[in-house]
């Protein structure tokens, strides 16, 4: 393992301040002894204090968004698209600055941080196109002289709660689409990533000023659970989009439903790839290692289970282990160009990883490689770990749970039916894959009798979805859909319209009255 030199926390703080300056947005107000803070998992230390929002300031943010909605909903959709187009231009201009903030706060390596900002740019492009394609339908009426159609209208204030692992991309999926749909947005980012949120909000406000949009179309509120609960419980928030753990979703959903609001949930994933005997094993290794170890295993689409045919399980296991051994010299400071695996976001993730490995071993599992903490002496407050591969005798309870850390469980199967049963026998249903050269096997995995996930891939890993398709999953993953395809419909309300242009008044279904 290479030598690790702990970056200076004040240097990281100054780098964050400089990113705000280059973006042309106001720096966050640094407050000594504040109610919150900006931190970096790179060092595990506080960068500077930030004041959190209160219930009162969150209430004001919702009120401002609601007031702006009255004007924004009447703005033609293609004109609304100009705001998102301008945001995309600013994101392109400041891509490196935003990526630096993502690395500082989330610990992502450079290419992944840049990729996340690129995802924001891509969704801007997609949403601008959507602004001219918010289609309804015209349907044949059974009554002469009548036209039957449906129209789509802005919904209202959209509350967006995001997680630390994709601090800006998931916000953009929701916000760019919501804005072109005519909604306004109040965003509560993770307490772990306030700087990225403030920078994105600042750029969006620049874009709004440039195109003449109401500044209240977007508000950001910082804080923890108390602030989030204001969004959850406020009847003015027409749609609550929340990304996080399944436990969080179970708490949010009934509260929003009780006030007859709408919710969109993107929750946990316990994603698996099936490796058939015909699979291209080079492809398996390349696809699996990135999906399992990328972002230090802290993606909702991270590959956590590898279900391999018994004829090739030993060979696949050996190749994966060899690849993981090469990662040992690529763990460290995410700002270093050669780094592939940065830190866990904090101590909780490390504790969960250790506990899961102990349970797996108690269940008869064998740790083939990894699992140890790195640089504990050099970075006592930060948590760098070696991604782990564990050979399991079967799908025990710990395997069925999502551990938000880089653990890959390898298990064997005999028949495709058995593999699909193992694959589906978890509470979560986000992303899945099969590696096979057998077209019939691929089609069976894609069919209704195959994977029960919202994302089903063939010969690629579980991680790295494109923005053109709807993103989301089933079961404990929450059932939400964001980003592309027709996910825009979530952010609008549908009206069915009947227009009588014939002069008569025949009733439907042949009913006669008066």
Query: Where in the sequence numbering do the catalytic residues fall?
Result: 266, 300
Q: Exposed/middle/buried for 321, CB within 10 Å: 0-12, 13-18, 19+? A: middle
171-185 residues labelled b (16+ CB within 10 A) or e (exposed): bbbbbbbbbbbbbbb
Say how far apart CA 208 and CA 145 lie, in whole Å.
44
Cβ-Cβ contacts under 8 Å for 108 (sequence gap 6 or more): 102, 116, 295, 334, 342
| DSSP symbols for 291-346 | HHHGGGG-STT-EEEEEEETTTHHHHHHHHHHHHHHHGGGBS-TTSTT--B--BSS
Q: Is the Cβ–Cβ distance between 325 and 317 less than 8 Å? A: no
- The DSSP H or E segment spanning 63 is helix 55-72
User: Residue 151: in which H helix or E strand, if any?
Assistant: strand 146-154
Q: Residue 427 has what DSSP assignment?
A: S
The tokens of 291 are what? Answer: 């999906």
Tokens of 189: 């980012």
Q: What's the count of helices (H) and strands (E) in the chain, helices before strands?
A: 15, 23
């Amino acid at each position: 393992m290479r030598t690790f030199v702990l970056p200076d926390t004040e240097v990281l703080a100054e780098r964050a301040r400089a990113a705000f300056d280059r973006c042309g947005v106001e720096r966050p107000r640094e407050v000594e002894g504040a109610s919150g803070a900006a931190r970096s998992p790179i060092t595990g230390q506080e960068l500077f204090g930030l004041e959190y929002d209160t219930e009162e300031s969150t209430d004001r943010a919702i009120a401002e968004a609601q007031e702006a909605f009255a004007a924004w909903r009447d703005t033609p959709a293609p004109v609304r698209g100009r705001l998102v187009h301008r945001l995309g231009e600013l994101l392109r201009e400041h891509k490196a600055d935003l990526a630096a903030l993502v690395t500082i706060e989330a610990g992502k390596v450079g290419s992944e941080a840049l990729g996340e900002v690129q995802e924001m740019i891509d969704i801007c492009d997609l949403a601008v196109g959507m602004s001219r394609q918010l289609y309804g339908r015209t349907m044949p009426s059974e009554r002469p002289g009548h036209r039957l159609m449906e129209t789509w209208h802005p919904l209202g204030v959209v509350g967006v709660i995001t997680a630390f692992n994709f601090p800006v991309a998931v916000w953009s999926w929701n916000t760019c689409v919501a804005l072109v749909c005519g909604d306004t947005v109040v965003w509560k980012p993770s307490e772990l990533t306030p700087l990225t949120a403030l920078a994105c909000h600042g750029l969006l406000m620049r874009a709004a000023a440039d195109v003449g949009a109401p500044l209240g179309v977007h508000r950001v509120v910082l804080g923890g659970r108390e602030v989030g609960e204001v969004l959850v419980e406020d009847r003015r928030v027409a749609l609550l989009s929340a990304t996080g753990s399944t436990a969080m979703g179970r708490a949010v959903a009934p509260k929003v439903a009780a006030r007859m609001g709408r919710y969109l949930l993107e929750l946990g994933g316990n994603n698996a790839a099936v490796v058939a005997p015909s699979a291209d094993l080079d492809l398996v290794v390349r696809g699996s290692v990135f999906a399992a170890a990328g972002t230090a295993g802290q993606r909702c689409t991270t590959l956590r289970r590898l279900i391999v045919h018994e004829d090739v399980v030993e060979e696949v296991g050996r190749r994966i282990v060899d690849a993981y051994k090469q990662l040992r010299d690529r763990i460290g400071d995410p700002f270093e160009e050669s780094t592939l695996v940065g830190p866990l976001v904090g101590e909780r993730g490390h504790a969960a990883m250790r506990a899961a490995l102990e349970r797996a071993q108690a269940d008869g599992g064998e740790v083939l490689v990894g699992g140890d903490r790195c640089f504990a002496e050099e970075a006592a407050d930060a948590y760098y770990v070696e991604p782990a591969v564990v050979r399991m005798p079967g799908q025990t309870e710990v395997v069925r749970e999502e551990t938000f850390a880089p653990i890959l469980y390898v298990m064997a199967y005999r028949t495709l039916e058995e593999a699909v049963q193992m694959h589906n026998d978890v509470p979560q249903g986000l992303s899945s894959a099969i590696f096979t050269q057998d077209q019939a096997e691929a089609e069976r995995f894609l069919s209704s009798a195959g994977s029960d996930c919202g994302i089903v891939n063939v010969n690629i890993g579980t991680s790295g979805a494109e923005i053109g398709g709807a993103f989301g999953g089933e079961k404990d993953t929450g059932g939400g859909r964001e980003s592309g395809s027709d996910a825009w419909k979530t952010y609008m309300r549908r009206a069915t319209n009947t227009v009588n242009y014939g002069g008569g008044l025949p009733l439907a279904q042949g009913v006669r009255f008066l």
